[in-house]
Structure 1
Amino acid sequence: MKTLVTTLALTLLTGSAVQAHITMVVENDQRCITSDGVPEHETGPWREGATVEEQDHAFCMDATPEITDTVTRNVHVSGITMTGIPLRPGTAEYYDGSTERGYSRDRASGWNVEGMGGLIMDAQSGHVDGSGMYHYHGIPSEVVSDLDDALFAYAADGFEIRYVGDQMQSSWQLKSGERESGPGGAHDGTYVQDYEFVEGSGTLDECNGTMLDGEYVYFATDTFPFFPRCFKGTVSSDFIGGRGGPTPPPDNG
């Protein structure tokens, strides 16, 4: 039995003396990361009343992942950073012209709001959901600038997520022309459907990964999809559905 325990105590930059504890344990081919979900950098502002609340995060994934014959999609949380913050690039909001904000949880339009294009984020590309859970939709510049190496997070299937700036490029591109339905207007990145996968246009596959030195690795990129949104390995149930239920609380965009 092999067990590796790493505990990090991080001083928060939020004007308080609270310590965020992150623990990583590798045992019986499972890697488990626990944290209180409070980032070490400043957060906000967002909408009035939206604040970061401490969480009881416990995400376990395969410590020896392997590529399977099935690609898994519709995973709620893409991964967990080495600093204990979930990666949640997708949203549950859709274009809805009948609402004041222009979107709701009614999927009828088919136009899914892209977090980094249509919701309010702080300077680190993150915000909170309705339960106060802080998460990233895009690249947190303060976090990646502090990496000792390229390892940024672990994905829902256990493969590494690395960040190497512009050394790796997504193969997802904005579509040309105008939207033919829903919100209308040009494909500008407000909605997920504004993008299309163009194989070979970048260095990464549809899931934002590639083989590197004989191992499959995902990459966090500065452009869409930012983090993997599909997975080549076996996804842990900890990352599917909302934390504490199948339907996640709404984002406070």
Structure 2
Amino acid sequence: MTKHSKSLKLVAASMLVTISLFAQRQGGPPPMRKHTANQASPVRLEAARESPPAKSVHEFSESGDQRKIESNAIPEHLVGKFPNPGNPNSIQPQGYEIVITSNPQPAPEITPLRLTPFGIGLNGVFFDPGAAEFWQGDPSLGWQYEALGGAVPLGLDANYAHVQPNGTYHYHGIPTLLLKQLGADPNRHSPQIGWAADG
């Protein structure tokens, strides 16, 4: 865990997800980029040929009705080159502690997906599909770009992942090399690849 550790507690009651992210950022979040693209394009993926900048550290424990996950958000597989033309950020080890229920229950209503992770891989890397990219850089306009839509270059690597401004590597789509490490076979049911925020 790093000296400038961030703490993420992910607590789920039934299927209702509450996420609190306490991140120390100097100067606040980066300014929103002002996009005007109005068509999807093929997604250009960066080759995953680089070793991560640190060793992956992730631990899992269970106590009562809670599952605790501690992670530095560094994968065990190769990653793309970061920064790259679509993503100016470098991968940095984090210090996350996530707590989810170990006994999930169906929610009485649908829980909207927000700009937060909805799960975490067995390697301690978040599944965070939403992109904080909006038409004209204005979330109030209601037009959010799809991370895998290709209209906005996000510098995704071959694992459909890239890096947050704080250095967190995270998946937006199918974690290709994680699946390979876990022995996924397209002719069989997928192995478990992680935990959802609801357990």
TM-score bucket (shorter structure)? 0.5 to 0.7
| Larger RCO, structures 1/2 (Cα 8 Å, 6+ apart) | 2
Q: Could you tell me whether the CA contact under 8 Å between 1:59 and 1:80 is conserved in 2?
A: no
Counting matched residue pairs gives 137
In the TM superposition, residue 22 of structure 1 has moved relative to its aligned partner by: 1.1
Alignment of 1:14 onto 2:46: no
After superposition, the Cα gap between the structure-2 partners of 1:44 and 1:146, relative to the gap in structure 1 and judged at 3 Å, is: closer
Equivalents in 1 of 2:156, 2:64: separation in Å?
A: 38
1:107 aligns with 2:139: yes
Q: Specify the alignment match of 2:97 in structure 1.
A: 58
CA contact (8 A) 2:52 2:79 kept: no
Structure 2: distance between partners of 1:107 and 1:37 = 27
The structure that has the greater radius of gyration is 1
Richer in strand (by share): 1
Letter paired with 2:109: T
Q: Match of 2:98, SS?
A: strand
Q: Hey, what does 1:33 align to over in structure 2?
A: 69
- Any idea what the Cα deviations from partners look like across 1:137-171, whole Å, max 9, x if unmatched? 0112111122256101100111xxxxxxxxxxxxx
Cα distance in 2 between the residues matched to 1:55 and 1:86: 12
**Which residue of structure 2 lines up, in the alignment, with residue 126 of structure 1?**
161
- Report Cα offsets for 1:165-191 as digits up to 9, x if no partner: xxxxxxxxxxxxxxxxxxxxxxxxxxx
Shift of 1:49: 4.2
Deviation at 1:129, TM superposition (A): 0.9
Q: 1:116 maps to what in 2?
A: 148
Is contact 2:52–2:74 with CA below 8 Å preserved after alignment? no
Within 2, Cα distance between the matches of 1:107 and 1:23?
Answer: 36
Any unmatched runs of 5+ in structure 2? 1-49, 184-189
Letter in 1 for 2:93: E
1:71 is matched with which residue? Answer: 110
The correspondence for 2:196, drawn from 155, 171, 174, is: 155
Query: Structure 1, unaligned stretches of length 5 or more?
Result: 1-12, 97-103, 159-253
Please give the root-mean-square deviation of Cα atoms over the aligned residues, in Å: 1.9
Normalising by structure 2, report the TM-score: 0.63
In structure 2, the residue matched to 1:140 is 175
- Structure 1 Cα separation of the partners of residues 88 and 128 of structure 2: 21
Q: How far has the Cα of 1:107 moved from its partner? A: 1.9
Evaluate the alpha carbon distance shift between residue 53 and residue 120 of structure 1 in structure 2; reply closer, same or farther with a 3 A threshold. Answer: same
| Structure-2 residue corresponding to 1:210 | none
Q: In percent, how many aligned pairs have the same letter? A: 31
